[in-house]
Amino acid sequence: MNLWGGSTMGRKSVNFSIKEINTDLARFRDLNITIGAITREQWDEPMGPTPFPSLTTLRPWDQRLLKRYKPFYLPFCDLCCMCTYGKCDLTGSKKGACGISMSAQQSRTVLLSACIGAATHISHSRDLLTHLIAASGRDCPINVGGTGVEVEAPITRLVCGIKPITLGDLEPVLDYCENQVTQLLAVTHTGQEGNNLDFESKVFHAGMIDHVGMEVADIAQVSALGFPKADAEAPLVDLGLGTVDTKKPVILVIGHNVPPATEIIDYLKENDLFPEVEVTGICCTALDITRYSPKAKIVGPISWQLRYIRSGVPDVIVIDEQCIRTDTLFEAARINTPLIATSEKNCLGLPDLTHEPVESIISGFVTGTVPGALILDPEKVGEVAVRVAIAMAPQRKKHSALPTKHQLTEWAKKCTQCMLCRRACPNDLPVAQAIRLAASGNLSGLDELYDDCLGCGRCESACKQKIPVHSLIVTAADKKTREETFCLRSGRGAIQDTEIRKVGGPIVLGEIPGIVAFVGCANYPKGSREVAEMCMEFARRRYIVCTSGCSAMSAGMYRDEEGKTAYERYSGAFEAGGIVNVGSCVANAHIAGAAIKIASVFAKRPLRGNYEEIADYVYNRVGAVGVAWGAMSQKAAAIAAGFWRLGIPVVVGPHGTKYRRMLLGRADKEADWLVYDARTGEQVNGGPVPEHLFFAAETKEEAMVMIAKLTMRPNDTSKGRANKLANYIDLHKRLIGGIPPDVYRLVRTPADIPLTMKDEIQVHLAEHDWKEATIPDPTLLSRMVHSRKVA
């Protein structure tokens, strides 16, 4: 029995036990009464088969996908160290003391990562929702796009069977998510699950729950904080170190949970101080604060933390939660900048001054007796941060931790060329060689490292001479940092239903070649420019391009030959050739939501609690691909898993192999690609599309070719398949060389062949003894064959 089944808006209940009661009608003994949540039903769509799914409700769907896309393991560690029986060596056919195999342990680790990511987003969502309800009330209406958005919460409707009307309606949704994360974490205990594919099914479940939590967070903040509401013309906002006016007091906010930052903006506005103070941000709080006020400025993605703090520009640093360097307090102290922590999840050992008088807190910061403090009242943070920044600016005088050019050379002379810095570098950058040049006064080598540097600081930890390597790189690239003046379009949030209706047909038929979503962190193999170049290339080819999080920033940190960024060059509408920034990490839900709405709004498939059918539609018909080129965090793992369960493939960069396994198809095994033809009921070969569900590319070029390939779907019309093949073949020729070796597997009928490539493809088909195949009305669900016949 599914404890979470049903359709009420709440799940909490009150129980009464009555020993005995006499009435005129009857005598009752040992009477138990349960009063559940009051149902507010404003949705006439019938409830589907899987509202509030448990860990195993969608297991059959997961098994279908995992039968086709088998885990390919890349063990990051051969040992299991999770209980006191260990360490257990799992190499070869060895098992752990509990009986676990290498494959199960790797999938168990993936599940742990996905659970951490999902718990982080759901916890963020809970804190945000609680704050917004306290500020705006449970009856605050949900509004993510006015009349242009009728399906306001597609993931919540799909998974939970709930149509939320107000902020209060979102609380039981998070109750469900929190319950499921607890259940999933229990699965990872020693002596619990033992099958690798069942671990993987639960990874998918964690991803789905993560997407629900993200959607709750973003629709709540869009509704209550006045963020852009599905606005294709959301304003362009400043991006880059060079956009910051360093003559003013500067506040830096870092993290993901935006309420403290919005209170800073409110205090500035209420006291007419906005023109006098710069509000800057790093990571997703930066994205969300520019959704709240376009006057705020984005410094850059997560990897910009060290370089910006050490520059000495911030006069006060405010951190909330997620993806914040854990040594931020130390780095802030080096530049004499006070730090304010604002989240219970990130206290940094600081004294809790939440209930102290504002004047006392400010005095402690300004006199230096209090280098940092925990303040859990966002409104108080707003006042303290502004007043401290104004007071500290003339006192600090932008004190920097970066060396001068002369000091840089002196530091470089201490290098012994041991190469430990290069060995520690995730991107294997030629750090030691660049430092050797710098010792002679030539800074060009260090300057060239700047764009590719991840800002992780591992080179400094490895250096036996204690050389501040990252600081040397930033100093050498001083001119570049001053010229970092870019822009991006403020996060628009949801995709309008009207946009979905316009593009639904062309996407499903393949005439728009696909949706490509660039999401995730900034752990790039060769800097952020590659993300911008990929975005522009696919937009130019008339794909719909979406961005979010750090990738949204990276997409804007490059100018083309005409001096325009991606967001200036291309439309912000969800249309062919558009580049759509949905917003911060939690806004990723709108990308999955758009795919779901193609099935619901365009194709009229029942949405409510009907996960399998919608996922089957998306998998077979919607040519969407996620690209997490710099994926680093557990949150990125959970986001990817949510896309996998919907049947949407994800491509990661080379660092993505550290997630320990890929989900790869075998194009050569025809039996793996059988689908039901809903017209005839027969099982037929639908072709190896999409070929993989989770794929790591070594280079940008390999990634671009694979992205084009993975947009193909069994349902493509011949016109659509020809369009997709033309892009795939052209990219392969241009970036790798020659015609792809597997084109014969992707051409079903002669009409699939792109006209401009007809001659060479026909030669290729002849070489592989190609035979024509039918184009099915594809589904992986046998029950859909019966329902389509009845219809």
| For residues 272-283, average pLDDT | 97
DSSP conformational letter for 45: S
Residue type at position 518:
F
Does residue 14 have a pLDDT over 50?
no
Q: What's the whole-number mean pLDDT along residues 341-346?
A: 98
Confidence of residue 783 (pLDDT cuts 50, 70, 90): confident
Q: Looking at residues 321-327, what average pLDDT do you find?
A: 97
Average pLDDT, the chain: 94
Going by pLDDT thresholds of 50, 70 and 90, the confidence category of residue 189 is very high
Instruction: Report whether 729 contacts 740 (CB < 8 A).
Output: yes
pLDDT of residue 43: 79
> 368 with 146: CB under 8 angstroms?
no
Is residue 108 within 8 Å of 114, Cβ to Cβ? no
> Is pLDDT above 50 for 383?
yes
Look at 40-44, 177-181, 288-292, 496-500 and tell me which has the smallest mean pLDDT.
Answer: 40-44
Nearest C-alpha neighbor of 268 from the set 363, 357, 384 = 384
CA-based nearest residue to 580, from 627, 518, 624: 518
Nearest alpha-carbon partner for 306 in 287, 323, 331, 330: 331
Which residues touch 688 (CB under 8 Å, ≥6 apart)? Answer: 665, 666, 667, 672, 673, 742, 745, 746
Q: What is the dihedral of CA 127, 47, 10, 131, to 10 degrees?
A: 20
Contact 358, 380 (CB under 8 A): yes
Distance (Å) of CA 524 to CA 477, 649, 655, 699: 19, 19, 8, 10
Burial class (CB in 10 A: 0-12, 13-18, 19+), 81: exposed
Mean pLDDT over 700-727 rounds to 98
In this predicted structure, what is the pLDDT of residue 13? 47
With beta carbons less than 8 A apart as the criterion, state whether 522 and 630 touch: yes
Specify the pLDDT at position 161: 98
Q: How confident is the model at residue 789 (pLDDT cuts 50, 70, 90)?
A: low
Nearest to 324 by CA among 636, 633, 659: 633
**Residue 539 class from Cβ within 10 Å (0-12 exposed, 13-18 middle, 19+ buried)?**
buried
- Peptide bond connecting 371 to the previous residue in cis, omega within 30 degrees of 0: no
Specify the amino acid at residue 58.
L
pLDDT score of 41: 61
Q: Flag whether pLDDT at 34 surpasses 60.
A: no
Residue type, 207: G
How many CB atoms sit inside 10 A of residue 643's CB? 28
**What percent of the chain has pLDDT above 70?**
94
Q: Which of 89-103, 325-339, 444-458, 772-786 has the lowest mean pLDDT?
A: 772-786
| pLDDT band at residue 5 under the 50/70/90 scheme | very low
Q: Which two tokens mark 481? A: 């940092």
Instruction: State mean pLDDT over 728-739.
Output: 98
Task: For residue 213, give every residue at least 6 positions away whose Cβ sits within 8 Å of its Cβ, in sequence order, or none.
Answer: 118, 121, 122, 124, 125, 174, 177, 586
Q: Where are the beta strands (DSSP E) in 271-334?
A: 278-282, 297-300, 316-319
- Segment (H or E) for 635: helix 634-645
As beta bridge partners, residue 88 has: 80
3-state secondary structure of 264: helix
The string of pLDDT tens digits covering residues 396-408 is 999 999 999 999 9
Spatial CA neighbour of 661 closest among 148, 47, 74: 74
What region, left, alpha or beta, does residue 517 occupy, with left being phi > 0 and alpha being psi -120 to 50 degrees?
beta
Give 564-613 as a 3 state SS string: CCHHHHCCCCCCCCCEEEEECHHHHHHHHHHHHHHHHHHCCCCCCCCHHH
Q: Cα(157)–Cα(174) distance, rounded to whole angstroms?
A: 13
CB hemisphere CA count around 344 (13 angstroms) = 7
The whole-model pTM stands at 0.94
Token pair 């060059």: residue? 569
- Dist CA 631 CA 651 (whole Å): 10
Q: Tell me how many helices (H) and strands (E) the chain has.
A: 30, 23
* Biggest CA-to-CA distance, the chain: 103
Band of residue 784 on the pLDDT scale cut at 50, 70, 90 = confident
Tell me, letter by letter, the H, E, C secondary structure of 125-184. HHHHHHHHHHHHCCCCECCCCHHHCCCCCHHHHHHHCCCCCEHHHHHHHHHHHHHHHHHH
- Residues 661-690 have a mean pLDDT of 97
Residue the block writes with tokens 């030959």: 561
10 pLDDT exceeds 60? Answer: no
* Tens of pLDDT, residues 208-264: 999 999 999 999 999 999 999 999 999 999 999 999 999 999 999 999 999 999 999
pLDDT recorded at residue 1: 35
pLDDT in tens, 586-598: 999 999 999 999 9
SS3 111: helix
pLDDT at res. 26? 62
What pLDDT, on the 0 to 100 scale, is given for residue 12? 46
pLDDT one-digit tens code per residue, 595-653? 999 999 999 999 999 999 999 999 999 999 999 999 999 999 999 999 999 999 999 99
pLDDT of res. 483? 86
What domains are defined for the chain? Answer: 50-225 (1.20.1270), 406-482 (no CATH)
User: Which among 113, 112, 85, 109 has a CA at the least distance from the CA of 99?
Assistant: 85
DSSP state, residue 372: E
pLDDT of residue 786: 61
**Joined tokens for residue 144:** 């993510």
**Tokens 């325009």 sit at which residue?**
564
If DSSP codes are grouped into helix, strand and coil, which group holds residue 694?
A: strand
Q: Report pLDDT digits (tens) over 305-316.
A: 999 999 999 999
Mean pLDDT of 364-377: 98
pLDDT for residue 516 is more than 50: yes
Provide, rounded to the nearest whole percent, the portion of the chain with pLDDT above 90.
92
Q: 786: which residues sit within 8 A by CB, 6+ positions away?
A: none
Q: Is 337 helix (H, G, I), strand (E, B) or coil?
A: coil
- Tell me the pLDDT tens digit for each residue of 121-153: 999 999 999 999 999 999 999 999 999 999 999
Mean of the pLDDT values across residues 568-573? 98
